[in-house]
Amino acid sequence: MTAQDTTARVFAALDAFRIEIPSWGFANTGTRFGKFIQPAAANSIEEKFADAAEVHRLTGATPTLALHVLWDLPNGLADTGNIKALEQATGIRAGSINPNLFQEAEYKFGSLCNPSAEVRAKATQHLLDSVAIGQALGSSEVSLWLADGSNYPGTQSVRRRIGWLQEALAKAHAALAPHQTLLVEYKPFEPAFYHTDIADWGMALEFARAAGPQAKVLVDTGHHALGTNIEQIVAWLLQLDALGGFHFNDRKYADDDLTLGSIDPYQVFRIFHEIHLHQHLTGTPASPAFMIDQSHNLKGKLEAMVQTVVTAQELYARAALIDQAELAELQDACNLVAAEECFRAAFWHDVRLAVAQWREARGLPASPLQSLATSGYLEKITTERKEKNARAGGSYA
Ligand code: PSV
Ligand code: MN
């Protein structure tokens, strides 16, 4: 491939690449043992939109902000007017709507799978409200993650809980507008440690299929047992037209929420390869919703978010450099070393110069991280927010 071809591929890949950032990535968060308060953290939805707009100004790739209903729209539908005003003011659009079915006291023993019909009804209503919020905001994804499960064998009926969840998802699906997708996220454990009601992609896929054609699976890269071949799951979901979206982050052991690509950039590259390959095989671009699900409490929140988006752009561009036709030929010939080298050559290709050229050609800062450091934005929000943050409690118990 000539240098010109490489640059053209990088430009085309980046022009098409958008990734959603999470509102909770700007707020004070912590570990199970305590919150680490940051002076510049966002305390309101206004501040979250402002931070998201800054990330988009720097990277050109994050036009939408994922919203978590209880945290960002505590009054539900009544808050959508405020969100619309913020969209107007910042140029950032509301992204996926995330129902919150894990925080309230009633959900101690589950939400949509709770043995109590009353609790299930409350949870189902919240899910339906989330669908309505998505409609009011014109957002396309309702992204469902359940903390439901149990901690001790024999204490819950896995079978009956499957039925309850199917019922709730069917109701949510029936309420979707044509432009909406219901994303079903899975997670093997935490906070439930014995069984989780949607524990893996097979269960998520089955729930999505039973709910209807507008329900798809969401793959959170942190939600797999160690050693799981995530790109194979992605390949299967693409093959079945069932891949709805991603929550990107990185992990060493579990749902660590580390910065994308910080532990295993090759895995992200392999996942992006499956996305590019889909277009090569079918002629149609794969269109899962790319989202980040990270909430940093050690790194600065803005810096971590910009670093993540930049890494995602670089890895997406690198995966676009694979010569798919050549790779297919080598695979068919079972020419293992040559096939692997064709694959790896793209991974090892340093695209940073081409990415910087793309940024400049699109009127963006050549180095988003450097530009963030010198823009004065971090100093400004630190001054504005530090007193409020100093009053925030960080205690676990
Ligand atoms: C749960 O671990 C999760 O991945 C879900 O997507 C939640 O909505 C998100 O994190 C934020 O808590
Ligand atoms: Mn997630």
Q: Using one digit for the tens of pLDDT, what is the confidence trace for 299-354?
A: 999 999 999 999 999 999 999 999 999 999 999 999 999 999 999 999 999 999 99
User: Is residue 259 within 8 Å of 250, Cβ to Cβ?
Assistant: yes
Q: Which of 220, 221, 292 to mutate to test the pocket of ligand 1 (most atoms within 8 A of CB)?
A: 220
Give the CATH number, domain containing residue 201: 3.20.20.150
Closest CA to ligand 1's atom 10 = 293
pLDDT at 396: 74
Question: What's the mean pLDDT in 270-280?
Answer: 98
Residues with C-beta atoms within 5 A of ion ligand 2: 220, 247, 293
315-329 pLDDT per residue, tens: 999 999 999 999 999
397 belongs to a structural domain: no
Tell me how far the alpha carbon of residue 14 lies from the centroid of ligand 1, in angstroms.
27
100 belongs to a structural domain: yes
* Statement: residue 216 has pLDDT above 90: yes
Our CA angle for 40, 45, 50, nearest 5°, is 60
- Per-residue pLDDT band for 283 (boundaries 50, 70, 90) equals very high
Tell me how far the alpha carbon of residue 145 lies from the centroid of ligand 1, in angstroms.
6
61 belongs to a structural domain: yes
175 belongs to a structural domain: yes
- Per-residue pLDDT band for 148 (boundaries 50, 70, 90) equals very high
362 belongs to a structural domain: yes
Cβ burial of 31 (10 Å; 0-12, 13-18, 19+) is exposed
Q: What percent of the chain has pLDDT over 70?
A: 100
Q: Which ligand is nearest to the CA of 190?
A: 1
**Structural domain tally of the chain?**
1
Instruction: Identify any residues that bridge with 246 across adjacent strands, giving them in sequence order.
Output: 219, 290
CA 171 to chain centre: 24
User: Is residue 278 within 8 Å of 319, Cβ to Cβ?
Assistant: no
Residue 54 domain boundaries: 3-390
Our CA angle for 292, 315, 332, nearest 5°, is 120
d(CA 144, CA 97): 8
Tell me how far the alpha carbon of residue 22 lies from the centroid of ligand 2, in angstroms.
10
Q: Return the ligand 1 atom nearest residue 255 CA.
A: 2
